[in-house]
Every structure is written in C-alpha cells, then in structure tokens.
Structure 1
Amino acid sequence: MSGSTTITATDNRQSILIVVGSVFLLSVSDAIIKATSAETSMWQLYVIRSVLASGILMALVVHLRGATNLWPLSPLWVVIRSLLLSLMWIAFYGALPFISLTVAALAIYTTPLFIALFSALSLKENVTTRKWLAICLGFVGVVITLAPSTEDFNTYALLPVLAAILYALAVVVTKGKCADEDPVLLALAMNVALLIIGVVGSLVVLQTGPHFPVDDGLRFLIGGWSAMGQGDWWIMIVLAVLMVVVSIGLAKAYQVGETSVIGAFDYTYLIFAIAWGALLFNEMLNGRTATGLVLILLSGFIVLKKPAGER
C-alpha cells in the first residue's frame, strides 16, 4: 500500500492490536534495560543485542524474500528512518539511569502531538480540531509531569521528549515513504544502524578511556564493556528477541493504520511502564504525576472516540 491509500476501519483495528502488543513488549524490554543499566554500557548493549537481532532478522528476510531479494525499494528513506529510530533509542535509553521509568514514559508520550503535527504537514492527514485539542491536553499532562518550573526538575527528562520528536519523524517517514517496504526488512535495517552506532560509540569510549565512573548512570553512557556471564547472555538474547518482535510490529502497525489513531493507542505503553515502575523499581505516583497521567489518558480517549458521522 502507499501513503495515500484509503485506510479502512479494519486496517485500524488490525494496527491497534499490533501496536498494543508491541508496546507491551517494548515496556518489558525497557524495564529490563533500566534494571541492568548499572552492569553494562549502552554501546555494549547496542552491539550485542543488534548482532543477535540482526542475525534473527536476516534469517527471516532470507526465508521470506530469498537471498537475492534483500534490497529495499527506497534505500535512502529506509536509511533515514533507521537513523531517526537509532537516535531515538540513544536519547531514550540515555535518560533511563537518571530518571524513573514512569517519568521517561510520560515524557516520550509527547509523541502523538508531534505525529499529528508532522502527519498534517507532510502526509496531509485530516487531523480534526477535536483531535488537536485532545493531543494538546495530553501535552499539558506531560508538562505537568515534568514540572519544568519546580526545583526537582531533571534535565535528563528532556531526552525522552527529544526521543519523541525523532520517533514521530520516523513514524511519518514509515507511513509516507516506506509504506511498501517489508516490515522485516525495515526492522533489519534499523538493527544494522543500531549495530553501527554501537560499534562507533564503543570505539570512541575505547579511544578516550574507557571510563568506569562510579556513578551508575554515567557508567551506562560512557563506561567500557564489562565481562558477561551466562545470565547476562540470556538477558541479551531476550532483549534481541523482544527487539525483533517490537521493531517488526511497530513498522507494520504504522504502515497499515492511520498514524494519529495508532499513535493514540501507543499511549498504552504508559500503563505498562508505570506498572513495571511500581513492581520493579518502587516508583509510586505522586499527585503531580498522577494528574499528568490522567490528562494524557483522557486525551487518548478523546482521540479514539469518534463522533457520529466522522470518518
């Protein structure tokens, strides 16, 4: 299908199921990475996970397309999409050691606002006044959560917002320029990009150190590679499998469904992330965060509930 193909209700329902399942698995992956960030470095994670994920994806691509049909239809746009997503992961994961998973999840969910904006500008999608008001309501919820005017504001919380912008741009590229690409091939390209960035990051750290700072957060960002035991390898395998499923699922969902509607269902990540934050990291909602969450979820429900007569 192309970016201009009429999107049916069935398309949206299929994409909604895919995106909800994908963001649940993504929340599991993010919780694992936050829990293990003190023992490894981000660049080591990228290299090992991407090698494993790329191997799985390459096998899938060869099985589904054949060994001679590995080239994408639009190589330039596939590369741009992969770079946007790779930078998005760097921004988001770079913040996890310094802020709670709950705040990181709420911050990145400025994404639907940017998706709607970029979709309206580049894809000419019909984003109604009601949708804009709902998305802006969600944005207010995120601002309340981040509390930029309070003393406890953490500048690292801005990194997930940057990740949201990059993710929204990648979504628009997926819908407008990569709609006919094989989702498995898109996932492979993204993981290859992550692998390359991980290798470059590891080499930079190696040439400048490597550093082993006492601070666990900085250790994750600029620390050298650490020795891995059997348990660590199993964690990497699990993360690689999750990355394969999530990257294929999200690519497929945004290829098929309406970006603003699918973006709204991306909000379910918040529920999953908050649950993991409470269960694994003892992150309890305070009044400000709870208020922000309510506004964000309310905005999602407003977007999803279409008035009679609206297509």
Structure 2
Amino acid sequence: MWKSGAACSATRVGVATIITTVFGMALADALIKQSSTAMTLWQIYVLRSALVLPILLVMARGRMNTGRYGWIALRSLALVLMYLGIYAAIPWLELSVVAAALYTSPLFIAGLSAIVLREPITSRHWLGILIGFAGVLLIVRPAASGFKPLALVPVGAAFLYAVAAVITRAKCSDMPTRALAVWLNLSLLVTGLAASLYLSRTGVGAGFDYPFLFGAWRPMSGRDGWVIVVLACLMIGISLGLARAYQSPRPQVIATFDYSFLIFATFWGFVFFGDIPDRLTLLGMGLIMLAGVIVLTAGTPEPTRLEKAKVARDQPLVPCRVKTRTRPQRTDTSPSNR
C-alpha cells in the first residue's frame, strides 16, 4: 500500500514538472520568435549557451567521462539540426503550427524503434501513425492555395528528434542527463560560433533576405540582453525538468501530459502575436494529440508461438546436475557389538 501511494505521489510530481517544463518551452519559443527581428539565430545560440554551460558544468562535475563519444556526438548533431529546423521556421509560422508539427515525433519514434531497435509494432501503433499523419495534413494542407513548404520543416525537426531519442534509448540510456545536457549546449555553442564566423567572413548571407538565419550579429539593447538571460534560465530549467519528469514510475502518463505544450504554444502565440488557429488547425492538433496518446499507450504484442520457439531454440543448453540420493549406512546395534 505504501509503495502504491509513493508511486502515485511521484507520478503527480512528474506530471506537475512536465507541465511546468513545457510551459517554459513554449515561452522560450515565443521569445525567440519575437527576438528574430532583433538578433540572429547564431547570436542566440552562442550567448545563451555561454551562460548555460558554466552552470551545467558545475552541476555535472565528475560525471563527464561517459565514453561512447561518437554516439553522443551523433545525438547532439541530431538535436542541433532539430533546433535549427524549429527556429528557422518560427519567424514565418504560427507557434501552434510549429508545435503541432514537432509533436509528431512519437510517431517517428515508434517507426524508428521498429526498424532500428527491432521492437514489435502493434495495430494500435499503426492506427496512431495514420491518425497523426491525417492531423499533419490538416495543418500543413499541401493541396491548398496558401500552402507554405516551410511548414514541412518542423516535421523534419520532429524526425530528427526521434533519431536523437532512439540513439538516447539504445546507446546513451545509462549516461548522466546533466552530462548529455552539457554536450548538447557545447554543440550549440560551437555551431553558433562556426556559423557566425563563416557568415561574417564569406558574406554568403548577403544574398538572402533572411537576416535571422543568414545575417551578421546585431547590436543588442538592454532588453535583448535580458531576453538572453531569461532564455538561459529557461534552458537550464527545461534540461533538468525533462530529466526529472521522465524519472517518474509511469513515463507514459508523463508523455501524455507532455502534449500540453500544444496548448501553451497556442496561448503564447496569442499573447505575443495575436495568433488564433483556425478550425482545421485545431482539429489537426487534436488528431496529433490523440495519435500520440494512442502510440504512447499501445502495449507490446505477445510473442507468437514461432517467436517463442525461436527464443527457446536460441537459449544455450545448461547441463543439469542430477542429485543422487545416497542410502545412509546401516549401523549394527546388536548387543554383541556394544
């Protein structure tokens, strides 16, 4: 009884943590969208990570010698490209559209887990994937006259997030989360510095009318400096909050509440920019949320008789030791032998 109560309490804490965390994530995206006219993406990458890294290094001291640095680099690369896809589209799309496209990631995770990790996929998984695909079509509307190809970029970001999630699960699951956060922010810092130097020296960005992605660093106001500080604090909170939330005894419940990000993204989009999603977008968001819940709660199918036979066949034979029962020696207790 005590264990059940403790598990319920831990789950409630995890739910509260994930809701608070995704609230901060949506706020961070709104701040970056609002700052896209005042700073460049690479400027935000560098300055935010420069503030975050020293704090994370102190928190992760003694835990940085993780090994498997190749897999860590591949995971960090996938996440850096994911952020690039999200932030490249944010100035042009509504936050609710970007959020809905990004939260197709559980569908990609289910598919990649089946292909890469050889995990069985059930009919409920397929149902969730089809419903999620229908939701994406309602939001993106490729056949409509106002179709924006840029709306597909966050879907690509969702795929990259799924790649990082599968790598984390298969190769980095036993690594300290703070160490992984350090490597990610270090990768963001290096990427921001490299892109900034390349654009400033070559002038390649002058040919593009997109200063947020291709422009040189801009002079910052006092308000811009405070935005960077807030983004750094949010980044630390998000990194720790996600790790803490998913340590819950019931991660499926946590992942379901993770979808509240769609609500908060819509909220901040309205507060900052006055964006109000139309009915088809809201319907598409609802379908994506439903699809995610279906995929997250789908159970693992029972192995078939053939699979059970294969597992039994592949089991190594262990020789059995047969215990032999020895008959106790009979002792003669006749009076003549006393």
CA distance in structure 2 between the aligned counterparts of 1:12 and 1:132, rounded to whole angstroms = 28
Q: Which runs of 5+ in 1 are unaligned?
A: 1-7
CA deviation string 1:41-85 (max 9, x = no partner): 0111111111111111112112xx3xxx52223222111111110
Correspondence for 1:45: 44
Does structure 2 conserve the Cα–Cα contact (< 8 Å) formed by 1:115 and 1:259?
A: no
CA deviation string 1:247-276 (max 9, x = no partner): 333356567778877655432211111111
Q: Superposed, which structure 2 residues align to 1:244-259 within 5 Å?
A: 244-251=236-243
Following superposition, the deviation at residue 223 of structure 1 comes to 0.9
**2:282 is aligned with 1:283:** no
CA distance in structure 2 between the aligned counterparts of 1:200 and 1:256, rounded to whole angstroms = 38
How many residues of Structure 1 are paired with residues of Structure 2 in the alignment? 295
**2:177 is aligned with 1:183:** yes
CA distance in structure 1 between the aligned counterparts of 2:71 and 2:208, rounded to whole angstroms = 41
Higher Cα Rg, which structure: 2
**2:230 is aligned with 1:238:** yes
CA distance in structure 1 between the aligned counterparts of 2:26 and 2:177, rounded to whole angstroms = 20
Q: Superposed, which structure 2 residues align to 1:157-306 within 5 Å?
A: 157-209=151-203, 211=205, 218-251=210-243, 264-303=256-295
Does structure 2 conserve the Cα–Cα contact (< 8 Å) formed by 1:109 and 1:142?
A: no
Whichever residue aligns with residue 43 of structure 2, its letter is Q
Q: Superposed, which structure 2 residues align to 1:8-23 within 5 Å?
A: 18-23=17-22
Closer, same or farther in 2 for the Cα pair 1:173/1:305, shift >3 Å? Answer: closer
Correspondence for 2:134: 140
Residues 236-245 or 8-17, more deviating: 8-17
Q: Report the aligned-residue RMSD.
A: 2.9
CA deviation string 1:119-171 (max 9, x = no partner): 22333445432233123212211111100111111111111011001000111
Q: Superposed, which structure 2 residues align to 1:40-189 within 5 Å?
A: 40-62=39-61, 65=62, 69-189=63-183
CA distance in structure 2 between the aligned counterparts of 1:173 and 1:257, rounded to whole angstroms = 22
CA deviation string 1:74-98 (max 9, x = no partner): 2221111111101110111011111
Q: Which runs of 5+ in 2 are unaligned?
A: 1-6, 303-338
CA distance in structure 1 between the aligned counterparts of 2:275 and 2:293, rounded to whole angstroms = 25
Does structure 1 conserve the Cα–Cα contact (< 8 Å) formed by 2:60 and 2:179?
A: yes
Correspondence for 2:317: none
Give the TM-score of the pair, scaled to structure 2: 0.78
Whichever residue aligns with residue 290 of structure 2, its letter is L
Does structure 2 conserve the Cα–Cα contact (< 8 Å) formed by 1:57 and 1:184?
A: yes
Residues 100-109 or 160-169, more deviating: 100-109
Give the TM-score of the pair, scaled to structure 1: 0.84
Closer, same or farther in 2 for the Cα pair 1:78/1:116, shift >3 Å? Answer: same
